[in-house]
């Protein structure tokens, strides 16, 4: 990409960053890496939904991903305003928008409109009754002088007077698209409260900040003819547009934040006891939510109820993937593939899929962005993540896992650093995520549970403890004495002692190892037996054997 390219990412601070937005930011960042600049702008004019905490969350999400902006809000050493094109929050730019509104009104390219919300609703209803779409257009007998006089004393919006000829949009990904009059109306530039609309703010800011390339999802395509027409009226440049494919769920449905709310709703409907429904009814607005599927609970409440109902929420926002223990470089790698391909082969002759941010920065082009929607395959992402974790050094994995625990599970596990390092080394290659390594259901979960919280898998108990000649439970009692005598309770010494015991009885190693594994972990699958028993420690292993024998009978 030639020097001078300026891209931007302009989210609304209404919640954590959606992965679709993260991909747009990633593509915009990559396009600007060869001599250009990447700018971050916060579009916070929706005062009812925007918040400072959400804005900070977006900055944190991008920083965690490694998507660093050259210009924009200052955050942990990122951003700044070297060209003096800020501020980067739209609510701090209101005087700039006002100047352009006044210019458009003076040129009769924009005009005040005085309909109340109720009057507009009536117009929409009438259009629907006639079977057509509602399009606001200025009346042919509109009196400009009278309208301008009313502006000073009556509440009003300012509308842009759209041209009556088709608007041609040129898009790098989708080609040329002509939007006819049926798609266009005299849209609002400034609302009744004096705040600019999205359409106006984005056009003014892109020009004032020197944005040359606009990348955004295809759901924004319908907005583009409005922006192009407004740019022409203001005498602005039209940036290069690239509308990238949508990201869908694996089943073809839209990847939406509503999916979380839907997961909780399905859990409530599936509860035959009715207890979950009673819990929802105790929540403010809960009855209305139950009766109306279009309603959504507050995101915070959705998370609380999911934890309470033991419901796994779908990963939709960047924070969800971070909480799940996905590595940031893996998420970026996978997101890059949702709409773009390098067009190269790996060493095995397959399409190249695994690459880092430096590769993406060096190879990303808009020409290789596809038109078709992309489907998010969470299992493929987790496979990427497991491979990446396995390739980390033990030190790197320990540092990342420790940081994850400090943020999301500060009391897991409550052991000294030496034990934690040993545990991390044991589960590293067996964990799909950092969260797996800290979960009682993960590959090392048996070591995180108190002895009396261990639950035995019935199939494993039946196969390895109740069957055999002699039965595994009888061998377990004898093996306990062997383990009690092991001088150094370390993996190699443990495995040697168990192997010698099995040989002394003329048995294969598995006939002894598996009963021990079931007693120590509750199941038939764990890391190597020596590591498994050593991480528990001698006293815990002996207690668990005793508990297991008491539970199933010693003979």
Q: What is the pLDDT of residue 554?
A: 47
Residue 335 and residue 330: Cα distance in Å, rounded?
Answer: 8
Q: What is the pLDDT of residue 555?
A: 38
Residue-wise burial string across 454-475, b where 16 or more C-beta atoms lie within 10 A, e elsewhere: bebeeebbebbbeebeebbbbb
For residue 87, give the nearest of 99, 100, 96, 78 by alpha carbon: 96
Alpha-helical (H) ranges within 235-298 are 258-269, 275-281, 286-291
The upper half-sphere exposure of residue 104, i.e. CA atoms within 13 Å in the direction of its Cβ, equals 27
Residues 6+ apart with CB under 8 A from 42: 10, 11, 12, 13, 55, 58, 72, 73, 88, 89, 90
Q: What is the pLDDT of residue 47?
A: 81
Q: What is the pLDDT of residue 168?
A: 95
Q: What is the pLDDT of residues 74-116, one digit of tens each?
A: 999 999 999 999 999 999 999 999 999 999 999 999 999 999 9
Q: What is the pLDDT of residue 2?
A: 47
Q: Which residues of the chain have pLDDT under 70?
A: 1-3, 554-555
Residue 323 backbone phi and psi in degrees, to 5: -65, -35
Do residues 209 and 203 make contact, with C-beta atoms less than 8 angstroms apart?
no
DSSP code at position 463: I
**CA angle 223–228–233, rounded 5-degree value:** 130
Q: Which two tokens stand for residue 334?
A: 């996978």
Element spanning 63, H or E:
helix 52-65
Q: What is the pLDDT of residue 3?
A: 60
Residue-wise burial string across 217-228, b where 16 or more C-beta atoms lie within 10 A, e elsewhere: bbebbeebbbbb
Residue 546 and residue 548: Cα distance in Å, rounded?
Answer: 5
Q: What is the pLDDT of residue 545?
A: 96
For residue 15, give the nearest of 65, 45, 66, 53 by alpha carbon: 53
Residue 327 and residue 434: Cα distance in Å, rounded?
Answer: 8
Handedness of CA 492, 494, 496, 502 (dihedral sign): negative
Residue 51 backbone phi and psi in degrees, to 5: -150, 155
Q: Which two tokens stand for residue 129?
A: 């009754």
Cross-strand pairs, 170: 176
Q: What is the pLDDT of residue 347?
A: 87
| Catalytic sites, residue numbers | 257
Cα-based distances in Å from 474 to 71, 373, 479: 70, 60, 9
Q: Which long-range contacts (CB under 8 A, 24 or more apart) does 538-543 make?
A: 538/483, 538/484, 538/486, 538/489, 540/451, 541/483, 542/480, 542/483, 542/484, 543/451
Q: What is the pLDDT of residues 113-144, one digit of tens each?
A: 999 999 999 999 998 888 888 889 888 899 99
Residue 418 and residue 438: Cα distance in Å, rounded?
Answer: 16
């Amino acid at each position: 990409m030639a020097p001078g390219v300026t891209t931007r990412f302009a989210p609304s601070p209404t919640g954590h960053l959606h992965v679709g937005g993260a991909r747009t930011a990633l593509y915009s960042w990559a396009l600007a890496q060869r001599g250009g600049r990447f700018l971050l702008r916060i579009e916070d004019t929706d005062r009812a939904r925007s918040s400072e905490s959400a804005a900070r969350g977006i900055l944190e999400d991008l920083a965690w991903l490694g998507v660093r902006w050259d210009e924009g809000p200052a955050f942990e050493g990122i951003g700044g305003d070297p060209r003096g094109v800020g501020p980067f929050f739209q609510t701090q730019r209101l005087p700039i928008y006002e100047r352009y509104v006044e210019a458009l009104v003076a040129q009769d390219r924009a005009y005040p409109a005085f309909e109340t919300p109720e009057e507009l609703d009536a117009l929409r209803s009438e259009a629907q009754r006639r079977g057509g779409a509602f399009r606001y257009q200025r009346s042919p007998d509109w009196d400009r002088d009278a309208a301008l006089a009313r502006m000073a004393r009556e509440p009003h919006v300012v509308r842009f007077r759209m041209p009556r000829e088709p608007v041609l949009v040129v898009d790098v990904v989708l080609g040329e698209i002509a939007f006819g009059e049926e798609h266009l109306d005299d849209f609002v530039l400034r609302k009744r409260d004096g705040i600019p609309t999205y359409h106006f703010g984005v056009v003014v800011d892109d020009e004032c900040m020197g944005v040359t390339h606009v990348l955004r999802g295809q759901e924004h395509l319908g907005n583009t003819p409005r922006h192009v027409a407004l740019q022409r009226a203001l005498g602005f440049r039209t940036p290069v547009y690239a509308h990238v494919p949508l990201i869908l769920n694996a089943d073809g449905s839209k990847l939406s934040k509503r999916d979380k709310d839907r997961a909780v709703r399905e859990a409530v409907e599936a509860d035959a006891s009715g207890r979950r429904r009673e819990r929802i009814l105790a929540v403010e607005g809960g009855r209305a939510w139950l009766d109306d599927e279009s309603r959504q609970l507050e995101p915070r409440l959705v998370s609380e109820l999911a934890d309470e109902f033991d419901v796994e929420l779908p990963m939709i926002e960047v924070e969800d993937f971070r909480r799940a223990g996905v590595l940031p470089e893996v998420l970026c790698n996978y997101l890059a593939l949702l709409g773009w391909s390098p067009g190269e082969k790996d060493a095995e002759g397959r399409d190249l899929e695994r690459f880092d941010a430096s590769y993406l920065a060096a190879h990303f082009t808009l020409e290789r962005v596809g038109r078709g929607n992309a489907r998010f395959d969470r299992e493929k992402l987790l496979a990427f993540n497991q491979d990446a974790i396995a390739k980390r050094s033990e030190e790197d994995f320990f540092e990342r896992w420790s940081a994850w625990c400090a943020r999301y599970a500060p009391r897991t596990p409550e052991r000294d650093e030496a034990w934690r390092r040993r545990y991390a080394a044991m589960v590293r290659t067996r964990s799909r995520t950092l969260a797996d390594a800290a979960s009682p259901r993960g590959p090392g979960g048996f070591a995180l549970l108190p002895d009396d919280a261990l639950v035995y898998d019935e199939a494993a108990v039946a196969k390895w403890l109740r069957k055999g000649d002699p039965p595994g439970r009888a061998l377990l009692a004898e093996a306990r004495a062997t383990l009690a005598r092991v001088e150094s309770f370390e993996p190699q010494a443990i495995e040697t002692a168990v192997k010698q015991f099995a040989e002394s009885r003329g048995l294969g190693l598995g006939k002894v190892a598996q009963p021990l594994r079931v007693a120590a972990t509750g199941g038939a699958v764990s890391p190597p037996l020596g590591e498994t028993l050593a991480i528990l420690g001698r006293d815990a292993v002996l207690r668990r054997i005793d508990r297991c024998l008491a539970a199933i009978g010693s003979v």
